[in-house]
Every structure is written in structure tokens, then in C-alpha cells.
Amino acid sequence: MRLRHWFYLVGTPALITAFFLVPWQRVWGLTHSRLRAPASVAERVKHYGDAARARLLPQFARVAVAYPPRAVTLVGLKAEKRLEVWVSADGIKFQLLTSYPIRAASGVPGPKLREGDRQVPEGLYRIESLNPNSRFHLALRVNYPNDFDRKQARAEGRAQLGGDIMIHGSDVSIGCLAMGDAAAEDLFVLAAETGIKHVSVILAPMDFRVRELPPDIKTLPAWAAELYAAIRKELARLQPGALSR
């Protein structure tokens, strides 16, 4: 009986105090956010479009390309930690619109080979979908593994190549490119309004237009030479006055 009386005298006030100390507004906000229906791409574009266009349109005016462009090429340079945005009015001549710092990207020079290797892929890719409900704000999904990746994996007997490679917001990433939220909004809106079938992606270990890999890298697969030749060819077309087909 004494223990029960002690609980009533001491425990009840403690519980009441704890109840009022709980940040219920925050708890409700987290719960409510999880219960809300997922947003669509169109809803995200409507929500973020004005701010993204306010940042993008002066750049389009500078290069004299109408918005939205006919085609977009995103160039992710791992060593430089930079993502370039190239745009074209006709699908042939591309001009550098702007570039963004890559806030986070794990791994070292070299292509992605398997799930869990923490590598950002290297190669010529497409944007296969947009994720308006990403845990990292907004995301553009890269079509890794592509046909080239699968071909090399079959030849080497590799399985479980991994996937879910994104260009997304926030500043943390494992195998993806984290661009920060404002840049992710720009890229998401630009890709949505251009049309993802008109967006290509080049992911390179470094900018082959200005430098080459150091000779002491010994972990590259034999087929990396073929891959890098294809990347060099595409990068060579993305220079002032150059034509890209």
C-alpha cells in the first residue's frame, strides 16, 4: 500500500509534467507529414517552379536560349565536385548555362561495380524518372546500371550491381550526387519542364577536357579505357563553339 501511495504522490505529478514538456506540435507535424498523400511531379513544379525559374531565366537570357530548352545535358565531374548544366535550343549546339557545386559524393575515381561499393557511377546516362517525394528533398533518378554497365558485369560474372542512383537535394550521399536543396529544385523543375527524355547525363571521374587521370591509379577495370574514351568524346563536344549531336 505504501508503494502505491508513493506512486500516486510522486509519479502522477511527474507524468503530468512530462506530458506538457513533450513538443506535441513537432510530433504532430512529423506524424501528419507521413500521413499526407505523396505529392506529384506537377505539384512539386507548381510549388518550387517560380523560385527555380527566377534563378534560371537570367541564365537562359545570358546564353540566348529560350526556356524550356530543347535538350539538357548534365555533366557530373567527380574530382572537381561540380555539376555543369548545358542547354540547347535545337538539340545540336549546347551552351553552358550554369554549374553547381556537388555538396557530397562518396567513392574514388572509377566506375561503380556492385551494390554497396559507395561509388558514384561513371558513364553516359539518362534521367529515367523524377522523385517528388525523395527523403533528400527532390531527386532525379539516373538510369544506372545502363546497357554498358550490364554488359561488363555479365562478362565478369558480377551480380547485384546496385541502383537507386540519384541527383538530389541535401548535403549527404552514398553513391549519389547531393546538390543542396535549392540546386535540386532548379534541376528538378528544369528536367520536368524540358521533359526527362530530353535530359542526358555524363558522369566522369574528372574533367577530361583539361586533365587526365593520374598514372598511379591501379584499381580500374580493363574496360575503363573504352568507357573513358566515350566520355572524352562527349565532353569534347561540350565546349564554347562546339557542336554536340
Kindly indicate the confidence band of residue 8, based on its pLDDT and cuts at 50, 70 and 90.
low
pLDDT of amino acid 240: 67
Kindly indicate the confidence band of residue 36, based on its pLDDT and cuts at 50, 70 and 90.
low
pLDDT of amino acid 145: 97
pLDDT of amino acid 152: 96
pLDDT tens, position by position, 92-103: 999 999 999 999
Q: Where are the domains of the chain?
A: 2-34, 39-237
- Please provide the CATH number assigned to the domain covering 39-237: 2.40.440.10
Q: Between these two residues, 149 and 7, which has the higher pLDDT value?
A: 149
Cα→Cα distances 98→78, 85, 95, 241, Å = 17, 5, 9, 16
pLDDT tens, position by position, 203-242: 999 999 999 988 877 779 999 999 999 999 999 999 865 4
What pTM did the predictor assign? 0.83
pLDDT of amino acid 201: 98
